[in-house]
C-alpha cells in the first residue's frame, strides 16, 4: 500500500532503516566489502547495496549470460552483475578513468571474478561499437555520464535480444530530470526511448532505476 505522501514523493527511509535493510538483505562477502569501500581520490558514487542486489536479481530472473555495463567505477556493481551469471556468463564493463579501471580489476580478482568480467577503458561512445559484433546481449546496465544516456540507451535497444533488459541508474538525475539542461534533456530522451521500445518502469530507488524489457 501507499499513502498520498509517499505517492507524492515523500520518503520514509532514514540512515538507520537503510543500514538495517542493507545488512539484512544484502550481506557482503569480502569481495563486495572491498569494492564498496572506494579508496581516497575515487568518488563514492557506486550503487547502493540494495540497488546492486536488485540489479543482480533482475539479471537472474532474466537468465542473463552476456551483459554490458557502461560505467565500472571500481567494480562494485560489476561484482553484483557477475554473481548473477552462470559459469559461462560474461560481463563487458566500460570505464573512462584508467585509474578506476585498474582498481576495478584488482577488486574483481580479489572477488574471484576476474575471468568473468572484461574491463574496457575509454568512453562509452568509443567502446560500445567495439563490442557490437558480440551482440545480441541479454542485458545492458547504464551508470555513466548522464549527458549521453540517450545514446547508450539507443545502443542498448539495438543490441539486446528480444526480452533482454536495459537498466539505467540515476533516472531521477539527482532531482534535475525536468530541468532545461543538456543532462535533463538527455535523460528524458533516455526515458522516452526505453518506454517506446520496451515494457518499462522507473523503479523508485533512491535516484530512480529505469527497467526495460525489449519487445
Kindly give the confidence (pLDDT) of every residue in the chain, 215 residues in length, as a single tens digit, with 9 standing for 90 and above: 678 888 888 888 999 999 999 999 999 999 999 999 999 999 999 999 999 999 999 999 999 999 999 999 999 999 999 999 999 999 999 999 999 999 999 999 999 999 999 999 999 999 999 999 999 999 999 999 999 999 999 999 999 999 999 999 999 999 999 999 999 999 999 999 999 999 999 999 999 999 999 99
Is residue 138 within 8 Å of 66, Cβ to Cβ?
yes
User: Which long-range contacts link 114-119 to residues 24+ away (Cβ below 8 Å)?
Assistant: 116/82, 116/85, 116/89, 116/90, 116/91, 117/75, 117/78, 117/81, 117/82, 117/90, 117/91, 117/92, 117/93, 118/90, 118/91, 118/92, 118/93, 119/72, 119/75, 119/78, 119/93, 119/94, 119/95
Residue 35 pLDDT: 97
How far apart CA 119 and CA 114 sit, in angstroms, is 9
Q: What is the pLDDT of residue 11?
A: 85
- pLDDT, position 187: 98
Question: What was the pLDDT predicted at 3?
Answer: 85
Q: Is 23 left (phi over 0), alpha (psi -120 to 50) or beta?
A: alpha
Q: Where are the beta strands (DSSP E) in 22-157?
A: 66-70, 90-95, 117-121, 137-142
The pLDDT, as a whole number, for residue 5 is 83
Give the residue among 39, 45, 47 at the shortest CA–CA distance from 80: 47
Compute the CA torsion angle 67, 158, 132, 35 (nearest 10 deg): -30
- CATH code reported for the domain at 14-214: 3.40.50.150
Contact at 8 Å (CB) between 193 and 154?
Answer: yes
Domain residue extents for the chain:
14-214
- Classify each residue of 19-47 as buried b or exposed e, where b means 16 or more C-beta atoms within 10 Å of its C-beta: eeebeeebebeebbebbbebeeeeeeebb
Amino acid at each position: 500500500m501507499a499513502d498520498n505522501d509517499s505517492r507524492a514523493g515523500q520518503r520514509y527511509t532514514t540512515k538507520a532503516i537503510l543500514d538495517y535493510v542493507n545488512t539484512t538483505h544484502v550481506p557482503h562477502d569480502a569481495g563486495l566489502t572491498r569494492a564498496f569501500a572506494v579508496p581516497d581520490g575515487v568518488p563514492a558514487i557506486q550503487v547502493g547495496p540494495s540497488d546492486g542486489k536488485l540489479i543482480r536479481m533482475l539479471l537472474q530472473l532474466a537468465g542473463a549470460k552476456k551483459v554490458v555495463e557502461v560505467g565500472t567505477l571500481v567494480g562494485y556493481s560489476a561484482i553484483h552483475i557477475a554473481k548473477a551469471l552462470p559459469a559461462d556468463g560474461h560481463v563487458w564493463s566500460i570505464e573512462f578513468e584508467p585509474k578506476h579501471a585498474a582498481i576495478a580489476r584488482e577488486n574483481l580478482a580479489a572477488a574471484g571474478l576476474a575471468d568473468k568480467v572484461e574491463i574496457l577503458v575509454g568512453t562509452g561512445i568509443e567502446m560500445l561499437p567495439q563490442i557490437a559484433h558480440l551482440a545480441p546481449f541479454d542485458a545492458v546496465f547504464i551508470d555513466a555520464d548522464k549527458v549521453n544516456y540517450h545514446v547508450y540507451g539507443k545502443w542498448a535497444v539495438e543490441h539486446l535480444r528480444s526480452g533482454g533488459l536495459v537498466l539505467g541508474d540515476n533516472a531521477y538525475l539527482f532531482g534535475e530530470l525536468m530541468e532545461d539542461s543538456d543532462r535533463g534533456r538527455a535523460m528524458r530522451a533516455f526515458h522516452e526511448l526505453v518506454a517506446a521500445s520496451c515494457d518499462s518502469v522507473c523503479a523508485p530507488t533512491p535516484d530512480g532505476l529505469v527497467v526495460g524489457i525489449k519487445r
